[in-house]
Amino acid sequence: MALDAPSQLLSRDYTSVWHPYGRDSDHEALLPITHGAGALLFTEDGRAIIDAISSWWVNLHGHAHPALTEAIARQSTLLSQAIFGSCTHEPAVTLAERLLALLPANHQCVFYSDDGSTAVEVALKLAMQYWHNNHTPRTRFLALEGAYHGDTFGAMSVSERGVFTNSFGELLFSVDLLPFPGEPSAEDSCLAALDAALRNEPVAALIVEPLVQGAAGMRMYRPEILDEMIARVRPAGALVIFDEVMTGFGRTGHLFACQQTLHQPDLICLSKGITGGILPLGVTTMTGAIREACRTEDPNKTFFHGHSFTGNALSCACALASLDLLLSPACTAARERITERHAAFLGYLRRNYPTVASRHHGTILAVDFPHEVPTGYIHPLRHYLLREFLSDDILLRPLGNTVYVIPPYCITDEQLYRIYESMKRVLAILSGSAPFTLANKQISA
Ligand SMILES: *Cc1c(COP(=O)(O)O)cnc(C)c1O
């Protein structure tokens, strides 16, 4: 591309494209990307940006990974898409078999969909269908405060109420949101609220993001408390849904967060990293009991759910190639290396910024940057932080004042250190030990 002919991409984009969560003020920080390689995204004007958030938590092995692009190319010469209501094919069946072999033994069946939100919708609808088919209908769901399960109506309903859902509140079904059990004191109130909810009304299912709540700001809680919650839910007959859309495929150090709990869920939602983050695909896995209850001849009990692109062969082939990479010793070593680097950086922060809250679990690191106004997704600091990191050629998308790193596993040590250095630089500014580089008005905007 000729650098002397500035592209019109950004202005053409502004005229005709609407971006996710996009506000007008976000457009000025939009990156015109030509290609990617490893953990880097390259812009039209020749910048190499470190993708420190795996392009919204999806990318596992880097951009344009040859093993994945070859798997897609090879599959595309055979079959890309065949109506899954009438057909089946090798990639979809093999992927189901391989996923089930990695998941808890009680999971015996895979339902395909398109993305994380649809994987959650399928889990919620299967839970309701299960009660409809088996027993007296149950329609009550429990979730955690701060939950994020997607942007469709069912997924929004079981999520925290806030700016994401305010305009739609009247049409969302009501759920019991239990206090988030992040602190020891909150663990007790969470369990007490859980007991009260279970006494109140028959519960169809409890849905959680296991161990790490993503959109709430990478908030973490102990596997022991999750086990205790499940132990109390089970005697009431309620189902348990683990939304592993973010935590799945190695983010927490283990392949899945459910490997860290003793009690296993009845339904698991997967997406994001499933294809290595290259193509969209959603998966909901279920126990044999749910499959038996919902796979019937009775039209009043049939699970009438499907999407045009269910079981897309390209996505499945890509997911199989990604699994090969994920299960390789090199990838396991890379995840351990990232975990160690995060832990060392956390040690540095705790020594030098003892009042700054920070945490990590596996390859996920989060730091709450100092601020003076109450926090939330639309935090004024967010804009400032995003631009500061971009000025260091690092793509981080803070959640409010929480800066988190969730890198592709192929990220190099040198790239990780550049991310940490940039975070240190901005922390020094916000702690008053270095001057502001951008106008103060952006903090209070
Ligand atoms: C991202 C996410 C979703 C929604 O997935 P989409 O693919 O964006 O629809 C659901 N649950 C969790 C935990 C997520 O992180």
Identify residue 225 by its one-letter amino acid code: I
Q: Residue 299 C-alpha to ligand 1 middle, in angstroms? A: 31
Question: Does residue 2 surpass a pLDDT of 60?
Answer: no
Of the pLDDT bands very low, low, confident and very high (cuts 50, 70, 90), residue 292 is very high
Checking DSSP bridges between strand 282-287 and strand 107-113, what pairing results, if any? antiparallel
**Closest CA to ligand 1's atom 15:** 246
The residue with greater pLDDT, 389 or 23, is: 389
Among candidate residues 112, 272, 368, 404, the one labeled active-site is 272
Per-residue confidence (pLDDT) for residue 301, from 0 to 100 = 92
Q: Whose CA is nearest to atom 6 of ligand 1?
A: 116
pLDDT score at 435: 57
The residues near 324 (Cβ < 8 Å, ≥ 6 apart) are 67
Could you tell me what percentage of the chain is helix, strand and coil, using 3-state DSSP and rounding each to the nearest 5?
Answer: 45, 15, 40
* Ligand 1 in reach of 150 Cβ (< 6 A): yes
pLDDT digits (tens, 9 = 90+) for 106-152: 999 999 999 999 999 999 999 999 999 987 899 999 999 999 999 99
Residue 373 CA, ligand 1 centroid: distance in Å: 28
Give residue 323's identity as a one-letter amino acid code: L
pLDDT of residue 443: 39
Catalytic residue check, 148: yes
- Cα angle value 255/258/261 (rounded, 5°): 125
> For residue 377, what pLDDT is reported?
63
Q: Is position 377 annotated as part of the catalytic site? A: no
Angular region, 137: left φ>0, alpha ψ -120 to 50, beta rest? beta
> What is residue 178's three-state secondary structure?
strand
Cα–Cα distance between 355 and 109 in angstroms, integer? 47
Closest atom of ligand 1 relative to the 56 alpha carbon: 1
243 lines ligand 1 (CB under 6 A): yes
Looking at the chain, how many residues does it have? Answer: 445
CA distance 394 to 388: 9
Q: Point out the least confidently predicted range of 67-81, 89-103, 147-161, 425-439.
A: 425-439
Q: Residue 434 — very low, low, confident or very high, per pLDDT cuts 50/70/90?
A: low
Distance 277 CA to ligand 1 centre (A): 13
Main-chain dihedrals φ then ψ at residue 13, nearest 5 degrees: -60, -45
Task: Calculate what percentage of the chain has a pLDDT beyond 70.
Answer: 94
User: Would you state the pLDDT for residue 373?
Assistant: 60
What predicted TM-score, i.e. pTM, was given to this entire model?
A: 0.95
Give first-to-last CA distance, the chain, whole Å.
Answer: 37
**DSSP state, residue 179:** P
Expressed in angstroms and rounded, the spacing between residue 401 Cα and the centre of ligand 1 is 21
38 CB under 6 A from ligand 1? no
Measured on CA atoms in the order 189, 194, 197, 198, is the torsion positive or negative?
A: negative
Who has greater pLDDT, 370 or 211?
Answer: 211
Distances (CA, A) of 212 to 30, 59, 63, 115, 209: 28, 18, 25, 19, 6
For the residues 85-113, what does the mean pLDDT come to? 98
- The predicted pLDDT at position 404 comes to 98
Distance of CA 13 to the CA centre of its chain: 26
Residue 441 — pLDDT band, cuts 50, 70, 90? very low
Reported as type and span, the H/E element at residue 391 is helix 380-391
Cα(372) to centroid of ligand 1, in Å?
Answer: 30
Catalytic pick from 112, 148, 221, 377?
A: 148
Three-class HEC string of 76-98: HCCCCCCCCCCCCCHHHHHHHHH
Q: Minimum mean pLDDT among 18-22, 248-252, 436-440: which range?
A: 436-440
Q: Which amino acid is at 348?
A: Y
* Position 436 pLDDT exceeds 90: no
For residues 347 and 375, which has the higher predicted lDDT (pLDDT)? Answer: 347
Closest protein CA for atom 7 of ligand 1: 116
Residue 117 Cβ contacting ligand 1 at under 6 Å? yes
Distance from the alpha carbon of residue 395 to the mean position of ligand 1, in angstroms: 19
The arithmetic mean of pLDDT across residues 358-379, rounded, is: 84
Residue pLDDT, tens place only, 233-289: 999 999 999 999 999 999 999 999 999 999 999 999 999 999 999 999 999 999 999
Three-class SS of residue 55?
helix
Q: How confident is the model at residue 445 (pLDDT cuts 50, 70, 90)?
A: very low
Lookup: tokens for 37: 């390689």
Quickly state the pLDDT bin for 433 (edges 50, 70, 90): low
Active-site position among 243, 266, 353, 409: 243
Host H or E run for residue 134 = helix 116-134
With 50 as the cut, is the pLDDT of residue 311 above it? yes
pLDDT at 1 over 70: no
Q: What is the mean pLDDT of the chain?
A: 93
Higher pLDDT, 444 or 156: 156
Determine which one of 21, 45, 348, 413 is catalytic.
21
Pocket test for ligand 1, best of 19, 256, 272, 399 (most atoms within 8 A of CB): 272
Strand order in the sheet with 203-208: 107-113, 282-287, 267-270, 239-243, 203-208, 140-144, 176-178
Q: What is the mean pLDDT of residues 192-216?
A: 97
Question: Are 115 and 271 spatial neighbours (Cβ–Cβ below 8 Å)?
Answer: yes
Q: Is the pLDDT confidence value at 93 over 50? A: yes
